[in-house]
Structure 1
């Protein structure tokens, strides 16, 4: 017996249709996973670049504001603002030097080490985003149903009657 056969007479090398479909699905799924990971890295890199640009702009604005503070409040307060600008600029440089995977790992470590700070930071970011979105709304947007701003009306309790 040179070749062994199974009970149905087929050779051992043949796979069932289910096994073939499982292999095809597995290879397709791993290909899709690799594509998704590549796209996620690409988007993370783009987001990092945008964040670095935004931080550079903030550092520049804060640094410019330091000169105005020097004139109005003195060099000491301007120095504090320059320190803040330097800190923001340092953060931008730190982000610029790291790749997206390294940043994700750092964020995971930070959340594991101090989850309360991570939750507070997430809440603060959410609050800031809500404020930015809300401040961008115009008076005639659906947020206030297009109503004109109300003017305060005097309370009847504060009025004096002319019958005296």
Structure 2
């Protein structure tokens, strides 16, 4: 054992010397700082790339949905037109005319849907929500209810088979 008495540690004992401070700063100057900035840039680039891919995928799905909706509306219009003749025979021409008017309205809506791009439809939906949020919430609730009923009916049929 050493004969020097133990002394308490002071602030000067814990403070780094000028040489130690230079060694701490040197790794940042020697390239670790650039590796960090390169990694940050790569992460930013990947984020932008993924966002673009997600946007393209969503746009493709929206175009597909628009085409399917337009096709379904066209079929509904044709169904209403075909039924108008039978309604004329069974209930009278006045009620048949209601069916024809409904078919024309549905066909007109289908044509408008075909003519607009997905971006135009999104802009129209945003405008509708801004102008009358109550109607938008009601429409969303109605669509949600119909989708839930369709899904439930599909699951019930699957369970029976």
Aligned to 1:60: 78
**For 1:38, which of 56, 72, 75 is the aligned residue?**
56
- What whole-Å deviation, never above 9, does each CA across 1:67-119 have from its counterpart, x for those lacking one? 11111111111111111111111111111011111111111111111111111
Aligned to 1:95: 113
Aligned to 1:121, the other structure's residue is in SS state helix
When normalised by structure 2's length, the TM-score is: 0.74
Where is the helix percentage greater, Structure 1 or Structure 2? 2
Q: How many residues align?
A: 135
**For 1:79, which of 93, 97, 122 is the aligned residue?**
97
When normalised by structure 1's length, the TM-score is: 0.73
Question: Is 1:112 equivalent to 2:136 in the alignment?
Answer: no
Task: Calculate the aligned-residue CA RMSD, in Å.
Answer: 2.5
Structure-2 change in CA distance of 1:135 and 1:27 (3 Å): closer
Higher-Rg structure is: 2
Structure 2 spans left out of the alignment, 5+ residues: 1-24
Structure 1 spans left out of the alignment, 5+ residues: 1-6, 143-164
